[in-house]
Structure 1
Amino acid sequence: MSKSSWSVYTYGVRIKRRFVNGRFSNESDTIDITKDMEKTLEMTDINWRDGHDLRQDIIDYEIVQHIFEIFRLTVQMRNSLSELEDRDYDRLISPVLNENNIFYDSAKAGDALPKDADANGAYCIALKGLYEIKQITENWKEDGKFSRDKLKISNKDWFDFIQNKRYL
């Protein structure tokens, strides 16, 4: 069974593209999302350290839009600068702790893990290829017939396949 409920944390920095004159520009800002969240809550005198449910406080202080923006940045895994800024800066940062309580950060990843978003995309494509090979191997009929429907996969089944390493 795949995991469908996640806890996300404001870990690391994120790249936020500037929006100028109704469109994104080639300039961006580096945001420390934890500090931004703390600053936002402290400006409103919301006591967030006591562990209570903050939702009503966020509504009362009318900071929903800004908190949502911080959340959007939190779950933004790909962080790239424009070619004008630094074409080689392409970093993946996960807001979810792994089974060893470590956040994936491509800047700190070993050689066996993706180093940037392009490598991560290639890795996912390779996993999809493994899924298809597995389906063909398991469902090929002696008469040479194979239903292409076997190559379709739901999000739930895909998450189960990759999270539980069903390709090993």
Structure 2
Amino acid sequence: MAPISNLFRASRPVFKSSQFFRSSFRQNANSSSKRWQSTGGAADGAATESFAKRMWNSPIGVKTVHFWAPVMKWALVLAGISDFARPAEKLSLTQNVALTTTGLIWTRWCLIIKPKNYLLAAVNFFLGLVGVVQVSRIAMYHQAQKGLPPVVEEVKEEVKEAVKA
């Protein structure tokens, strides 16, 4: 019977062969160098495509959810902006905290995912910004209500009674 050491020497694993390393290195070197070379074919054709064609074929283009989600989400931003005209006592604190949190979390996420979606990041940033403004308005209103002198509270009660009568 042959010693065990002879069995390992007889068959060389593929990953230890120098031919394997040379061939894989050539493939990686060739593929990375081609990336920067002008081929004169499809790459030059992509540069001369129209903006509409590039947007249509883009991974975040017009025919994908990566485009339409931010477009539709602008409605939330516009609704928040329209609420600037409403008095602070009529605004919902929980709703605006949720919008702020959503906007800030998703802004960060849009810059991490691949492909990066700057359009969605922008709408989420503005959603968070509108939410911060609204939450600040609500907080200032509640702070002002706590600091009212007792005379103002009495006047408020009298007004409520007058309205009921």
TM-score by length of 2: 0.24
Please identify which structure carries the higher helix content. Answer: 2
Which of the two has higher C-alpha Rg? 2
- Higher RCO, 1 vs 2 (CA within 8 Å, ≥6 residues apart): 1
